[in-house]
Structure formats: structure tokens, C-alpha cells
Amino acid sequence: MDIFFAGTITTSDTLKWIAMYVADNPKVQAKIHKELDGLGNDVGKLRHCRNKMNYCEAVQREVLRMRPAAPAGLRHQTIRDTKLGGYDIPKGTLVYANIWAIHHDPKNWESPEVFKPERFLNKDGSLKEVDHKIWLPFASGKRKCVGEAIAKANLMTIMALFFRRFKVSFPPGVQPDFEPVMYEIACSPKPQKLIVQKRK
Ligand code: HEM
């Protein structure tokens, strides 16, 4: 149950956010298509291609930064009286880590509300080292997400297979709604229409 509950809506919500951010940023979409087209037929052998998909990886990181699927992680409980940031937290208190706030803090990120995958890339297109103090969509510590590796692999595979064949856009005149619905632990997009077109 843990795996099916924790591993499904998180991944599907992230895929929906990816489709929305890409549809809203045609230049990003063009770069994704260019990267995937450059892989030729290799895209079917994704295991060998992950290290050639830096731009797709940067898009994934940026989407997980802006819309982390579990923006407050899971509840934890202090096992002893604790002091944190000047606050006394008694033993037995339920605590959440505010991942959303860390990901949107202008002290950590330049223009945090701007969707910019390039912030994860060096000038030569290679991926920057991730700073896990400020980028932690899978939380941190001993009880961080056990599904991180499988989630990342799934996201990359589905992204690559989808964007190789399709392009996405919002219907003309439609204003996309990026305000998330925070339900229990989730951060889901509201239902809305996207146009999916086959690429030539
Ligand atoms: C984009 C996808 C995903 C994101 C953003 C995500 C994020 C998270 C976060 C933030 C936590 C809370 C950790 C904490 O509060 O300490 C968590 C826990 C967990 N995740 Fe994920 N997750 C994703 C996908 C998956 C997948 C695919 C699986 C399983 C196949 C999975 C299994 C779990 C489990 C079992 C826990 C509880 C771990 C524990 O309590 O020790 N997750 N995840």
C-alpha cells in the first residue's frame, strides 16, 4: 500500500506539471525536442541515454522545485525535547518540513517564481551539482522518499517517450492555472485542457 499510495499520485502529478510548464514555455519545449531528436533511435535504450538528457533532467528538477509533489513531506514526530531555530519543540510534537518554502525562498533561488530549467545547468550544458539543502523534493534524512530513484527513472522515461512524439500547448485564449490544489499531502494541478499534437 505504501508503494502504491506514495508512488502513484506523486509521479502522475509531476508529469501533469511537466506537461503544463512545457506547454507554457515554447522555448523550453523546443530545447527538449532538440535534445531528444539528437538521441536518434537511441531513445528506446534509455538506460544508455540518461547522461545525454541533461536538459530534460533540468526541466524535471525545475518542475519538482516549483511544484514538489509532497510539499510538506510526511508527518514526523520529535522523539525528545528539541530546540530548532530558537523554538522549543516538546517531545511528541508532530512536525512537517516546509519543502515548498525552501523551494520558493528568494534567499535560495533567484526569481523563484520564474520557471527556468537553465538554473540547474552550467554554461556548457552539463548539470550542476544539486544543493540538497535547498532542493529536496524527496525530503531529507533517514526517512526520505525510498522511491526517489524509481520516480526519477519513470519521469525521465515517460518524458522522453512522450515528447519525442508529441508537442503540447494550451488552447488559444486559455489562461493556464498554476495554482496548486493542496490536498492532504499532495500538490496537484487543477483539471484543465491541454492540446497534444503529434509531431511530424
Ligand atoms: C515525483 C515523485 C515522488 C516525490 C516528489 C516523492 C516525495 C516524497 C516525500 C517528500 C516523502 C516524505 C519523506 C519525509 O517526510 O521524510 C516521500 C516518502 C515516501 N515515498 Fe516518495 N515521492 C515520489 C515517488 C515515490 C515512488 C515512485 C515511490 C515508490 C515506488 C515512493 C515511495 C515513498 C515511500 C514508501 C515513502 C515513505 C518513506 C518512509 O516513511 O520511510 N515515492 N516521498
Give yes or no for a contact between 62 and 159, defined as CB atoms under 8 angstroms apart.
no
Most distant CA atoms of the chain, gap in Å: 62
**Site to substitute for ligand 1 among 140, 145, 157, 158, most atoms within 8 A of C-beta:** 145
All 3 cell numbers of residue 143?
Answer: 526517512
Q: What is the pLDDT of residue 57?
A: 96
Grade residue 4 by pLDDT with cuts at 50, 70 and 90.
confident
The whole domain housing 135 covers 2-198
Give yes or no for a contact between 188 and 177, defined as CB atoms under 8 angstroms apart.
no
Protein residues whose CB sits closer than 6 Å to any atom of ligand 1 = 2-3, 6-7, 10-11, 14, 68-70, 73-74, 137-139, 143-147, 150-151
Task: Please state the domain count of the chain.
Answer: 1
Q: Which amino acid is at 119?
A: R
**For residue 112, what is the domain's CATH number?**
1.10.630.10
In this predicted model, what pLDDT tens digit does every residue of 58-106 receive, in sequence order? 999 999 999 999 999 999 999 999 999 899 999 999 999 999 999 999 9
Residue 47 has pLDDT above 70, yes or no: no
Check the annotation: does 145 bind a ligand: yes
For ligand 1, atom 39, which residue shows the shortest CA distance? 143
Q: What is the pLDDT of residue 147?
A: 95
Calpha distance 100→83 (Å, rounded)? 22
